């Protein structure tokens, strides 16, 4: 019997609403498979906690989280808390737990219309492997002479050989399990230190993976080609900032941020991973019960895969696809009138039907 301890941080805005549907679908699976159990522990950290305590999570938060098998995060952010403060909850967890790989699948699901009118499911199916602990998001820099005409701000983009190489190796190995294609996204024509270094490391690693077709592309060209010909890409390795931007662009091509899950991984398995939708807290939608929970539920499928429950991971994604293809339950972002919980209920019902048809 598998019993997993999961730390749940529902967070802000629509986070609690979508994460509730993720927990619901995973609990549905445990009802169908008595050999699989989750022990949930919920933590009310986030912007409300900050407004009350002056910090996004307690000082002992990282020590608490380290004992779990995985972390399931809803969303963080509030108009009442500056973004550079609220985002520290996520960035501090990623950094402390050395979750140096951020996986963001960009896959057009059946039943979803891409804004690219000639693209169908199968045409858009790639994975962005984003460096997650250093690069442009390194908290290195400072400011001088604030609020004067001489004000100065400096932000250091920190790239290390260790951090860059381990991220790229993960990308190459992932490519070997898919279509043996990898694209490195860079900007070495303008960033003569950090991105020239990035290109050098990538070129060195190509020699270790002769069976993988490897290419490098400038980030501005990548943004264009991702729209013109997304079918040409499979695994994309990129820096922290470029991966953040390109994955939002990719989400737009597959129906919006309601279809954008992610995993923050420490492949060495020294620390727990964190799974989350990337759509943010969307405070304008909070409380209206109309947010699309699929990204959160899909993140739950990614969590199952990481935990070794790969058959249930596939079944959950297949249930999502079946509900979308049927088209009866659709949230507002994809032209429907269904509520957040109705989408979760429909996915659970499809899971039960799938098991029943298999005689489980």
CATH number reported for the structural domain that contains residue 197 in this entry: 3.40.718.10
Distance CA 291, CA 108 (A): 19
Q: Which residues of 324-348 are buried (b: 16+ CB within 10 A; e: fewer)?
A: beeeebbbbbbebebbbebbbbbbb
Please check whether residue 114 lies inside any domain of the structure. no
Rounded to whole angstroms, the Cα distance separating 260 from 245 reads: 13
- Same domain flag for 143 and 242: yes
Asked if residue 248 and residue 153 are part of one domain, the reply reads yes
Picking from 253, 288, 314, the residue at the C-terminal end of a domain is 253
Q: Residues with Cβ < 8 Å from 214, sequence gap 6 or more?
A: 172, 181, 182, 183, 184, 202, 206
**Domain membership flag for residue 106:** no
Residues 135 and 240 in one domain: yes
Radius of gyration for the alpha carbons in the chain, expressed in angstroms and rounded: 20
Residue with tokens 């900007």: 187
CB 279, CB 258: distance < 8 Å? yes
**Is 199 found in the same domain as 308?**
no
The pLDDT value recorded for residue 107 is 98
Domain boundary among 253, 276, 303: 253
Choose among 259, 256, 255, 216: nearest CA to 239: 216
Are 235 and 127 in contact by the 8 Å Cβ rule? The answer is yes
pLDDT score recorded for residue 358 = 81
Structural contact between residues 278 and 105, judged by C-beta atoms closer than 8 angstroms: no
Residues 133 and 235 in one domain: yes
User: Does a structural domain hold residue 113?
Assistant: no
pLDDT of the residue at 355: 86
* Ramachandran region, residue 87 (left: φ > 0; alpha: ψ -120 to 50; beta: rest): alpha
Residue 310 burial (CB count, 10 A)? 12
Same structural domain for residues 232 and 191?
A: yes
Three state DSSP letters for 339-351: CHHHHHHHHHHHH
Same domain for 133 and 249, yes or no, is yes
- Considering the entire predicted model, what is its pTM? 0.95
- Given this model, what pLDDT does residue 1 score? 77
- Give the Cα separation of 127 and 353 in Å (integer): 30
Q: How far is CA 301 from CA 34, 77, 164, 166, 168, in A?
A: 18, 24, 27, 25, 24
* Sign of the CA dihedral with 16 first, then 21, 26, and 31 last: positive
The enclosing H or E element of 175 equals helix 161-176
The count of domains in the chain is 2
Looking at the structure, tell me whether residues 144 and 222 fall in a common domain. yes
Is 131 a member of any domain?
yes
Are residues 19 and 94 part of one domain? yes
How confident is the prediction along the chain (360 residues), in pLDDT tens digits per residue? 799 999 999 999 999 999 999 999 999 999 999 999 999 999 999 999 999 999 999 999 999 999 999 999 999 999 999 999 999 999 999 999 999 999 999 999 999 999 999 999 999 999 999 999 999 998 899 999 999 999 999 999 999 999 999 999 999 999 999 999 999 999 999 999 999 999 999 999 999 999 999 999 999 999 999 999 999 999 999 999 999 999 999 999 999 999 999 999 999 999 999 999 999 999 999 999 999 999 999 999 999 999 999 999 999 999 999 999 999 999 999 999 999 999 999 999 999 999 888 875
- Residue 178 falls within a domain, yes or no? yes
By C-alpha distance, which of 273, 247, 238, 222 is closest to 107? 247
Q: Does some domain include residue 259? A: no
State the pLDDT at residue 360.
54
In a domain, 118, yes or no: no
Looking at the fold, whether 315 and 241 belong to one and the same domain comes out as no
Q: Tell me, yes or no, whether 221 and 296 share the same domain.
A: no
On whether residue 146 sits in a domain, the answer given is yes
What domain range includes position 323? 1-99+267-360
How far out from the chain centre does Cα 226 lie? 18
- Claim to verify: residue 167 and residue 222 sit in the same structural domain: yes
């Amino acid at each position: 019997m598998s019993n997993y301890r999961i730390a749940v941080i529902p967070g802000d805005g629509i986070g609690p609403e979508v994460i509730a549907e993720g927990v619901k679908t995973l609990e549905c699976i445990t009802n169908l498979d008595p050999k699989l159990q989750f022990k949930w522990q919920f933590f009310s950290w986030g912007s409300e906690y900050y407004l009350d305590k002056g910090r996004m999570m307690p000082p002992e938060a990282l020590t608490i989280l380290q004992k779990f098998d995985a972390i399931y995060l809803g969303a963080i952010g509030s108009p009442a808390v500056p973004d550079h403060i609220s985002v520290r909850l996520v960035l501090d967890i990623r950094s402390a737990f050395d979750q140096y790989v951020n996986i963001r699948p960009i896959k057009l699901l059946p039943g979803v219309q891409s804004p690219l009118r000639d693209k169908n499911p199968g045409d858009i199916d790639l994975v962005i492997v984003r460096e997650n602990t250093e690069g442009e998001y390194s908290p290195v820099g400072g400011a001088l002479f604030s609020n004067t005409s001489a004000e100065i701000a400096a932000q250091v983009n920190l790239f290390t050989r260790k951090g860059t190489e381990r991220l790229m190796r993960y990308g190459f190995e992932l490519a070997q399990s898919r279509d043996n294609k990898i694209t490195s996204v860079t900007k070495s024509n303008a960033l003569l230190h950090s991105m020239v270094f990035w290109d050098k490391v990538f070129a060195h690693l190509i020699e270790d993976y002769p069976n993988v077709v490897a290419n490098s592309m400038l980030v501005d060209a990548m943004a264009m080609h991702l729209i013109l010909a997304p079918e040409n890409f499979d695994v994309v390795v990129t820096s922290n900032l470029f991966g953040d931007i390109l994955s939002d662009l990719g989400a737009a091509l597959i129906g919006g941020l309601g279809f954008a899950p992610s995993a923050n991984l420490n492949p060495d398995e020294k620390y727990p991973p964190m799974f989350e939708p990337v759509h943010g807290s969307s405070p304008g939608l909070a409380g209206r019960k109309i947010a699309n929970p699929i990204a959160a539920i899909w993140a739950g499928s990614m969590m199952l895969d990481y935990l070794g429950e790969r058959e249930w991971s596939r079944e959950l994604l297949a249930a999502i696809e079946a509900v979308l293809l049927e088209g009866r339950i659709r949230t507002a972002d994809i032209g429907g009138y269904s509520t957040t919980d109705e989408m979760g209920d429909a996915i659970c019902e499809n899971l039960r039907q799938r098991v029943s048809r298999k005689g489980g």
